[in-house]
Chains A and B, each alone.
Chain A
């Protein structure tokens, strides 16, 4: 049987990886790995991961990597980039780390147009801690802390991350939302977000809609349907801000 081809920048000794079957993280990380391969930047890219399931990727890549704290990947990568601008600094986080506990860092580094690349996995819940409400939990969605479904009257509406970021960041920034349901498009977005940092244009941010069958308590079919239908209709996919010409 032929094995699937892994990106060159995946770190083989840490495989098989630690994500649940059906989890969307490995797809996002595959897209990142392939994008790094194609750009040939493995040796100068530094990968930082947040707390939450994104943490499970801490030794995922054959790239220099660091763990941080929940929500604090953004300032760690900003500090790194400011200290050594020749490095390509990539921060990876979940919706909680980016939009909740670390939202002030995300917002302010976007406003300062920091030359870092941040990738955020949106799976509509806090997965590592057992499936609690996330800023991105959909209205009506049941979580451990909204057992009767999220009521926007009590907990507000889901955070529209890329929409917010694109409206506050500066010229040269790249902002997009992709989905693991459209792998090639997602990889294209991530590649551009890396290129954008390499060219020193500005802040680069990609949200990736992702899956969490464990906490969603869904089977394969339901998982995919939730991702494509429920999330897909709530969160529009595409580029929201790009310094690149359309045909690029």
Chain B
């Protein structure tokens, strides 16, 4: 069968369409989903493209079911994924927890909308806490926060690879703006860039006769003894801690001599970049730090930057302190004062950041 993307192609499309193409390029086999704005078009494109490239789709009865059908398909050995937002993300924390516990490489695209509750169907960065630490677990997840369509393409492909390599639930955290807007990007065939696509493997329905060639698989998720669970969680934690250095990703801009460090993630970091450029041109020593992985958080790098002469840190987000909380726990002990620009559920532009930074130096 013809590859969905060959060579490199410049395109101009929405973020949701981008995700569908990236999932195809990542060799995803099947999607399970339930309609919720602003992620719907991922399903719309997937169902059309999937028919052409022989990939599966099922619209389930709700998000709980979408998450658990993904789990079932993954147990059976197929690259399955889902996409959701807001209240759907809340419902999916149950299957995400199971994926965390059973080490199922679930991939979910989260297009954040306004909250709490149904909030708006438009935009926010209010699903950071839920996506990084939702569920009744320890946050054994990997979360990529993207800032552009190019990154939506790159990190959706990467999410499948990360998930299947490390077997932790992996999230691409976008938002309504990224979902709905059109902007240019380059789509490419991963192979053409020597990017290896990791193959899936089944946990059940393995070859060989049970009792003769192999033992049956008994996949466990609940334990009779506290000590059993304790051992399992500590083992998973150790594994997670071990891969942090391989996983963390971040971006620094003008950090070397920065006296004010602006920390933001996702689409807001675009405004931060513009603000930093504008402020630098006025001679203000400001820099930008952007965690790309929110879980695991690039705390070591951030600590290094903070210790290199930063006098104040400004955290900017379209939520009321979700990034701030994440960051505080990650850099506990650092003494640089934290200022904030918190605008839950609305977009933040460079001018907002510029005036806030200026107010800090007066």
Real complex partners, A and B?
yes
User: Nearest B residue to A70 by beta-carbon distance?
Assistant: B94
Q: Is the CB of A65 within 8 A of B216?
A: yes
For chain B residues 123-165, which have a beta carbon within 8 Å of chain A? Answer: none
Contact of B73 among A67, A68, A79, A104 (CB under 8 A): A79
**Chain A hits for B56, CB < 8 A:** 82-83
Report whether B76 and A46 are in contact in the complex, using a CB–CB cutoff of 8 Å: yes
Chain A interface residue count, Cβ-Cβ cutoff 8 angstroms: 37
Known A67-B219, A69-B98; contact A83-B68, beta-carbon cutoff 8 A = no
- A-contacting 9-mer, from B41-49, B201-209, B236-244: B201-209
Chain B residues with CB below 8 A from A86, complex form = 205
Interface size on B, residues (CB 8 A): 43
Q: Is B312 on the interface with A (CB-CB < 8 A)? A: no
Return the contact of B217 from the options A64, A68, A81 (Cβ within 8 A): A64
Closest 4 CB pairs of A and B: A79-B72, A79-B69, A83-B73, A108-B61
A87 to B217 alpha-carbon distance, docked (Å)? 14
Please tell me if B221 contacts chain A, counting CB pairs below 8 Å.
yes
A228 to B43, CA, bound (A): 50
Q: How far is the CA of A82 from the CA of B73 in the complex (A)?
A: 7
Question: In the complex, are the beta carbons of A79 and B32 less than 8 A apart?
Answer: yes
A75 vs B61: C-alpha distance when bound (angstroms): 10
Q: Which residue in B69, B77, B216 is a CB contact (below 8 Å) of A63?
A: B216
Selected contact of A72 from candidates B95, B204, B219, B220, CB within 8 Å: B95
Complex interface: stretch among A53-61, A143-151, A157-165, A179-187: A53-61
B145 to chain A, nearest CB (A): 27
- Bound together, the chains give a CA A81 to CA B210 distance in angstroms of 20
A86 to B207, CA, bound (A): 13
Residue from A66, A78, A80, A83 having most chain B Cβ neighbours under 10 A: A83
Chain A residues, Cβ within 8 Å of B78: 83-84
**Interface flag for A77 (CB, 8 Å):** yes
Assuming A64-B206, A104-B62, is B222 touching A83 (CB within 8 A)?
no
